[in-house]
Amino acid sequence: MLFGTVSLPHAIAVWQRNAAMYRRTWKLNLLPNFFEPLLYLLSIGVGVGSYVTQMEGVSYVQFLAPGLVAVAAMNGASFEVTYNTFVRLNYEKTYDSMLTTPIQPEDLLCGEVLWAVTRACIYGGCFFVVIAALGLAPLPSSFAALLVLPMAGLLFAAIGIAFSLRVVTIDLFNFYFTLFLTPLFLFSDIFFPLKERLPGAWLWLAEALPLLHPVRLARAAFRGELSPILAWDVLYIVALSAILLAAAARTARSRLTS
C-alpha cells in the first residue's frame, strides 16, 4: 500500500514540532483569522451585496458565507505548506535534521500534511464562528460545513506540498498565490454561480477547479441539502489528494535522500 510505510507516531512527532512553534505565536496568528472574514463580508457581502437583491434565493451575504469558509481552510493549509515548508527544506534544514532520527521522509511528509490540515481547521473554524455569530450560518445544519475544513485542508496541503518540494526558488510562490490560488478564489462558485455564467458545454471543465468542490460541499451544508453530486466532490478531493501525496512522497525521498 502507498502509505503503508508511514509511522504515525513519528508523523505526530513532526506535527508536535510545528504545533510547539505555533503555540509560541498563536495569539498573533489567530487575530487576523477573525478579522479577515469580517472585512470580506463587509466589503463584498454588505457593500456589493446592497446592489444585488438575491442570489440563488438567499441574500448575497448569505450566498457568500459558505464559500468563504472553504477559502479560509484553503488559505490556512496553503500558507503552511508553501513558504514554511520551503524554508524548512532549504534554509533551516529541519528535514535533514529529522532524518538523523528514526523519522523517514514519508513520516515527515505525513506530519507536515497533518499540521496543514490542523491549520486549515483553525482558520476555517475561526471564520465559521464569526459567520455563525453574525447569524449567517443556519444552525445546526451548517455545522456539517465543519467537516469540509479537513477535506479542503487535505486537498490544498497535498497540492501545495507537491509544488513546494519541487520548486527551487522561493520566488515561484508568487506564481502559486497570484496565478493559482487567486483565480481559484475568484472563479470557484464563491462570488457568483458558475453555472449561470458559463456556457453549458464548458461547465465540465470547471469541475477540474479544486476549490469548487469544498465550496459546493460547504454551501450544501449551509443549505442542509444532500445531492448525488456531493459524492463526486468528496471523491475528487480524496483521489486528487492521494495522487499528489504519492507524488510528493517520491519527491521528498529524492530531495532528502540520495
Partner 1 sequence: MVSPQTRFDFPASPVAELRSVTKRFGDRLAVDGLDLEVAPGLCFGLLGPNGAGKTTALRMLYGVTKPSTGTVRVFGLDVALHPRTVRARIGVTLQENVLLEALSPLENLRIFGRYHLLREPELGRRAAELIELFELGSHARTPVRVLSGGMQRRLAIALSLMNQPEFLILDEPTTGLDPQVRLVLWARIRDLRDQGTTVLLTTHYMDEAERICDHVAILAHGRLRAEGAPGALVRAHLAPEALELDLDAAAEAALFSGLEASPRRLRAGRRLFVYDDDVRPHVERIRRRDGGERRPLVVRPTNLEDVFLAVTGTSLSTVPAEEVRP
Answer left, alpha or beta for residue 57, where phi above 0 means left and psi between -120 and 50 means alpha.
Answer: left
Task: Please identify, using beta-carbon distances, which residue of 14 and 137 lies nearer to partner 1.
Answer: 14
Task: Please identify, using beta-carbon distances, which residue of 93 and 195 lies nearer to partner 1.
Answer: 93
Q: Is 93 in the site for partner 1 (CB under 8 A)?
A: yes
Question: What end-to-end distance do the CA atoms of the chain give, in Å?
Answer: 23
Q: Is 178 in the site for partner 1 (CB under 8 A)?
A: no
Among 4, 24, 135, 140, binds partner 1 (CB under 8 A): 24
Q: Is 92 in the site for partner 1 (CB under 8 A)?
A: yes
Query: What amino acid is encoded at 57 in this protein?
Result: G
Window of 41-49, 99-107, 161-169, 224-232 that interacts with partner 1 by CB under 8 A = 99-107
Among 16, 182, 227, 254, binds partner 1 (CB under 8 A): 16
b/e map 222-252, b = 16+ CB within 10 Å: bbeeeeeeeeebeebbeebbeebbeebbebb
Q: Give residues with Cβ within 8 angstroms of 177, minimum separation 6.
A: 78, 82
Q: Give residues with Cβ within 8 angstroms of 174, minimum separation 6.
A: none
Q: What is the dihedral of CA 134, 144, 79, 13, to 10 degrees?
A: 130
Task: Please identify, using beta-carbon distances, which residue of 174 and 258 lies nearer to partner 1.
Answer: 258
Task: Please identify, using beta-carbon distances, which residue of 53 and 258 lies nearer to partner 1.
Answer: 258
Q: Is 97 in the site for partner 1 (CB under 8 A)?
A: yes
Task: Please identify, using beta-carbon distances, which residue of 93 and 197 lies nearer to partner 1.
Answer: 93
Window of 29-37, 86-94, 163-171, 198-206 that interacts with partner 1 by CB under 8 A = 86-94
Nearest to 85 by CA among 181, 161, 6, 176: 161
Q: Is 75 in the site for partner 1 (CB under 8 A)?
A: no
Window of 98-106, 151-159, 181-189, 215-223 that interacts with partner 1 by CB under 8 A = 98-106
Which residues within the stretch 116-175 sit at the binding site for partner 1 (CB under 8 A)? none
Window of 17-25, 79-87, 210-218, 232-240 that interacts with partner 1 by CB under 8 A = 17-25
Task: Please identify, using beta-carbon distances, which residue of 96 and 225 lies nearer to partner 1.
Answer: 96
Which residues lie across from 55 on neighbouring strands?
58
Task: Please identify, using beta-carbon distances, which residue of 19 and 167 lies nearer to partner 1.
Answer: 19
In the bound complex, what is the minimum distance in angstroms from residue 92's beta carbon to partner 1? 7
Cβ proximity of 149 and 218 under 8 Å: no
The rounded distance, in Å, linking the Cα atoms of 109 and 6 is 9
Q: Is 96 in the site for partner 1 (CB under 8 A)?
A: yes
Which stretches of 5-143 are DSSP H helices?
A: 8-40, 60-79, 85-90, 94-98, 105-133
Q: Which residues bind partner 1 (CB under 8 A)?
A: 7, 9-10, 13-14, 16-17, 20-21, 24-25, 92-94, 96-104, 256-258
